[in-house]
Structure 1
Amino acid sequence: MIEEISLQVTGDSGALLRVPAWRIDGGHRGPRVHLQAGVHADEIAGMLVLHQLLPRLREAAEHGLLNGSVTLVPQANPFGIGQFRQGRILGRNHEGSGRNFNRGFPASAKATGTLDNLTDWQRQLAALAAPADIVLDLHTDDEALQYVYLHERFWPAGQDLAAALRAELAIIWEGDGDGAFEEVVIEPWLAEGRFDGRLVATVELRGQGDVSDALAQQDADGLWAFLCGRGVIEQHAKLPQWKGVAVPMGFMETVFAPMAGVLVFERELGEVVQAGERFARIIARPGDAESEVVLTAPQTGMLATRYRDRLIPRGAIAAKFTGSAPSSTWSSGALDP
């Protein structure tokens, strides 16, 4: 059975907004899967991946190869997708309130009574995913390697996802964060203490500029292979051995820009940079050689993400590195503000 469903929320203008979604039920007992993209509406790659994956899942159901059900929400955020200013989408935060679209989900899921529009949207999205056994939330970073966020209760069992997507990095988190979508899914599972056959992960599909048919096909193939391996699709798919790096979230190093200026990277994504070694510089006042500030790696690690634009404001995240020891600048909560 293939059912087109939708969430309906009130937009900032008072108009009704629709979030299209599809539920494909194979009619056979099996895992329930929820796949979504675009919670941060300026992260486009996952939208194209699910656009390519949907007809393949529909065909699998029609041929009796789909076990359980799959719900897809290819463009989950109806607010941010319309926030264009001077030709550029501003999809990370709600323009009216300043709220990060991917924060506060557990509180929204418990909210009752008359709700504001963002809380209502988060509550509906959380409810749509609640019955699922496997939940994947597709995002992108600025410029980045392919990587995944996984709670410690799903590692190393989640290596199959990392392998299928050719992720070069797995960031393992524990405890409480800042209310991202992943947390509203895992909260009842933690209360139950039951994790067999379950998985929730935030998947970072490289950087915001990495949107192409070729990459989307590669990632859709990876998700397909992962679903085959988990018994959702009755088809054999051999997963490669995962050869990436797993790092506790508290070991990740975040380097902030000490000043605004022209950002020049001297090392590429995936390169290992030694502790104290320079990887970039910022030119605060072009023409003034003394205005250059060198950025160095806090500890030896792999360059995992980079700031996308080459004019960086003071305080922005210039880069993130893996580490082999706890970071001196991380206390708790999410890796990104």
Structure 2
Amino acid sequence: MIEDVSFSVPGDSGAELRVRAWRIDGGRPGPKVHLQAGIHADEIAGMLVLHELLPRLRDAAERGVLNGSVTVVPQANPFGIGQFRQGRILGRNHEATSRNFNRGFIASAAASGTLDNLTLWQKRLAELAASADIVLDLHTDDEALQYVYIHECFWPAAQDLAAALQTELAIIWEGDGDGAFEEVVIAPWLAEQRFAGRLVATVELRGQGDVSDALAQQDADGLYRFLGARGVVTDAGPLPEWNGVATPMGFMETVFAPAAGVLVFERELGEYLEAGERFARIISCPGDASSEHILRAPQSGLFATRYRDRLIPQGAIAGKFTGTVQSSTWSSGALDP
């Protein structure tokens, strides 16, 4: 059975905005799954992945190989997807309020009475996922390796997700952040201390420019294999071996741009650097050789993410690395601002 579970919220102009969502029910006992993409509306890859996966799930239900149900929300953010300025989409923050679209979900889910439009949207999205056993929130970084972001209570059980997607990295977090979507899902589970058969994870599908039919098909195949490993579909292939790196979030090293200028990367994503090795330089004043700033790896580890544009403002994140010990700059909270 395929059910339309879409909902509407008022936009900034007052006009109704539609969040399209479908629930595919196999009519047999099994896990409840929620898959969504585009909370940050400038992160497009997951939208195409779910566009590819949805007909496969419909077909699985029709063939009787789907257990439980899967809710699919391919484009979760109706506000950000319309925020185009000077030819670029500004989908990370709500333009009217400057709120990060993926923060404050816990407060919004608990809110009552007359709600502002953004709070109402977050509340409705959280309600749509509230009954699920497995929740995957698809994102992308600027430029990055494929990685997953998982609470420590699900690790190492969630290696099946990392293996299915063949991610190079799993970042393991603990404690509280700033109310990201996965936190509102996990909050009641943490209160119950019941995690068997459950999983919530943020999946980072490489970088913002990594949108193609080939990658979408690869990732849709990976998600289908993962659903097979969790007993949701019965015709998925076996999981490959996972050979990636798992690291606590506090071990991740973030290198900020010490100055604005032309950003030149000298090493590639996925390379292993020793502590102190240079990976990039920033030329603050082209033509002046003394204006170059050398960026170095803070400790030995994988070059995991990097800034997408090649003109960087001061203070922006130039790159992130895995580490083997806790970062000297770690102060808890979310990995990104």
Which category describes the TM-score, using the shorter chain as reference length?
over 0.9
In structure 2, what is the equivalent of residue 241 of structure 1? 241
Output the amino acid matched with 1:91.
Answer: G
Deviations, residues 205-235 of structure 1 (Å, cap 9, x unaligned): 0000000000000000000000011100011
Q: What residue in structure 2 maps to residue 76 of structure 1?
A: 76
State the Cα distance separating 1:236 from its structure 2 match: 4.3
1:79-136 deviations in whole A, cap 9, x for unaligned?
Answer: 0000000000000000111000000001100000111111000000000000000000
Distance in 1, matches of 2:178 and 2:16, equals 28
Paired AA for residue 28 in structure 2: H
| Other structure's SS at 1:254 match | strand
1:42 deviates by 0.1
Distance of 1:314 and 1:76 partners within structure 2: 32
Q: Is the 8 A contact 2:224 2:236 kept in 1?
A: no
Identify if the C-alpha distance between structure 1 residues 228 and 310 changes in structure 2 by more than 3 Å, giving closer, same or farther: same
The answer as to 2:291 corresponding to 1:307 is no
- Residue matched to 1:47: 47
CA distance in structure 2 between the aligned counterparts of 1:295 and 1:193, rounded to whole angstroms: 43
Name the structure 2 match of 1:135. 135
Q: What amino acid is the match of 1:185?
A: V
- Please name the residue that 1:4 is paired with: 4
Report the counterpart of residue 327 of structure 2 in structure 1: 327
Alpha-carbon shift at residue 330 of structure 1 (Å): 1.2
CA distance in structure 2 between the aligned counterparts of 1:322 and 1:155, rounded to whole angstroms:
17
* Paired residues of 2:106 and 2:184 also in contact (CA < 8 A): yes
In 2, distance between residues paired with 1:225 and 1:5?
A: 25
Q: Distance in 2 between matches of 1:181 and 1:7?
A: 18
C-alpha deviations, 1:5-33, integer Å up to 9, x for none?
A: 21211100110100000000000000000
Aligned partners of 1:310 and 1:322: how far apart in 2?
A: 22
Once the two structures are superposed, residues 170-216 of structure 1 have per-residue CA deviations (whole angstroms, 9 ceiling, x without a partner) of 00000111111010000000011110000000000000000000000
The CA deviation string for residues 61-86 of structure 1, in whole angstroms up to 9 with x for no partner, is: 01111100000000000000000000
What amino acid does structure 1 have at the position aligned with 2:124? Q
TM-score when normalising by structure 1: 0.99
User: Which residue pairs with 1:156 in the alignment?
Assistant: 156
Q: Which amino acid aligns with 1:68?
A: G
Q: What does residue 224 of structure 1 align with? A: 224
Identical amino acids, percent of aligned pairs: 80
| Equivalent residue number for residue 38 of structure 2 | 38
Match of residue 98 from structure 1? 98
Which one-letter code corresponds to 1:226 in the other structure?
F
Give the Cα–Cα distance (whole angstroms) in 1 for the partners of residues 300 and 145 of structure 2. 17
Q: Distance in 2 between matches of 1:190 and 1:119?
A: 23
1:82 & 1:199 partners in 2: Cα distance? 31
Structure 1 segments (4+ residues) deviating >4 Å: none
Q: Give the TM-score taking structure 2 as reference length.
A: 0.99
C-alpha distance in 1, partners of 2:56/2:277?
47
8 Å contact 2:149–2:170 — kept in the other structure? yes
State how far apart, in whole Å, the 2-side matches of 1:123 and 1:207 are: 28
- Residue identity opposite 1:181 in structure 2: F
| SS across alignment from 2:58 | helix
- SS at structure 2 position matched to 1:139: strand
How far apart are the structure 1 equivalents of 2:173 and 2:7?
Answer: 30
RMSD over aligned Cα, in angstroms? 0.5
Distance (Å, rounded) in 2 between the aligned partners of 1:196 and 1:261: 49
* Alignment partners' CA distance in 2, 1:316 and 1:302: 20
Provide the C-alpha distance between the structure 2 equivalents of 1:332 and 1:98, rounded to a whole number of angstroms. 23
Letter of the aligned partner of 1:101 in structure 2?
Answer: F
Deviations 1:314-334 (A, max 9, x none): 000000000000001110100
